[in-house]
Amino acid sequence: MSGDNKVLREGMLVGLCNPLLDISAATDVAFLEKYDLQLNNAILAEEKHRPLYKELVSQYKVDYIAGGSGQNALRVAQRVLEKPNATVFMGCVGKDEYSEILQTKARSEGVNVRYQYTDTESTGTCAVLLTNNGANRSLCANLAAANLFTKHHVEIPENRKFIDEADFFYITGFFLTVNPDTIMEVARHANAENKILMMNLSAPFLSQFFKEPLMQAFPYIDILFGNETEAETFVKEQNLPVTNDMSEIALSIAALPKENHKRKRIVIITQGKDDVIIAQDGKVTRIAAINVPDDKIVDTNGAGDAFVGGFISQLLHGRPIDVCVRCGVWAATQIIQQDGCTFPTDLQIPKEFRAV
């Protein structure tokens, strides 16, 4: 899994997730309470949330930002890799202005976008509600078109070739709500061909309410990402030992049954300002987070996606897991000092993370 500096090529990784246009605004706790939303959580919109989007646009200053967790991660990876089209992204959108914005943004940053289009729904949106000067965020996603992705899209020859030629796959937990059949198609392919499958726990509700598709895919996962809240929810829902020791939680998740015995599962848990936990080969390693002063934090939305993107960039280079994690930490610290999941225009990529 690790080595020294693989030669980068196009189509090394395929990502699957929900392409969403983020509608981001600085709001207040009262607005969250009105719509029964919690700090630092992510949910799918219900009927009671329908008025939220209109009210957000009319009452607050909003920014429209290309989003969707998986697409964000790939955009970040591409920015660090500086190799166009090393990653391929698939998800479903509507035929509208929003999907054009998403595609233009992602392609300009080097992602090879292979959207599935639908006539029946508009492109999905996600309300990004920032409070406490951007330090807290609450996400409410209206999937719309993203919910209509079908397995047919990965079966048609012009897209199947990307699956066949990729060495790595990254699928977010959010995609479990959309098309588990596609996840299993990719998971079985990765297992049969000894390729690396990465997944993300993504949000606590997925471990709670989408257990069956999650655990169907779980034996195929080589690298699992999650934050401390998601990991705690997962072990609780799986009746694994619940403890305050995040190292023990990571080890118990890593030890769950796995299909491909050629490599052991790696579990990576982020903890905000605290150390990143890496469970690998029955041992735990900690990588320190980089402290960003509160007055420099603009927007924590996308920090987790940026971490994964930084990690992926180094994995594609063939670098050791600790380097992958350090790059993830660095990428996340850059992102939280900007609006949305974007890098500063004058970004300086540290030498250790660049192509040789």
pLDDT tens for residues 176-235?
999 999 999 999 999 999 999 999 999 999 999 999 999 999 999 999 999 999 999 999
pLDDT at residue 4, rounded to an integer = 53
pTM above the 0.85 mark? yes
Helix or strand or coil: residue 249?
helix
For all residues of the chain together, what is the average pLDDT?
95
Query: How confident is the model over 345-354, as a mean pLDDT?
Result: 94
Domains of the chain, first to last = 13-19+67-122+144-353 (3.40.1190.20)
Alpha helices (runs of H) in 65-179, residue ranges in sequence order:
69-81, 97-108, 152-155, 157-165
Q: Is 342 exposed, middle or buried (0-12, 13-18, 19+ CB in 10 A)?
A: buried
What residues form DSSP beta bridges with 200?
A: 172, 225
For 76-95, b/e burial (b = at least 16 CB within 10 A) is: bbbbbbebebbbbbbbbbbe
| Active centre residues (catalytic) | 305
Closest alpha carbon to 225 in 72, 341, 347, 10: 72
Task: State yes or no: pLDDT of 170 exceeds 50.
Answer: yes
Distance in angstroms (rounded) separating the CA atoms of residues 132 and 247? 30
Tell me the pLDDT tens digit for each residue of 241-281.
889 999 999 999 999 999 999 999 999 999 999 999 999 99
Closest alpha carbon to 298 in 339, 343, 332, 329: 339
Tell me the pLDDT tens digit for each residue of 310-344.
999 999 999 999 999 999 999 999 999 987 788 88
- Ordered DSSP codes for 299-343: --TTHHHHHHHHHHHHHHTT--HHHHHHHHHHHHHHHTTSSSS--
The amino acid present at 232, given as its one-letter code, is E
> Which pLDDT band, with edges at 50, 70 and 90, does 5 fall under?
low
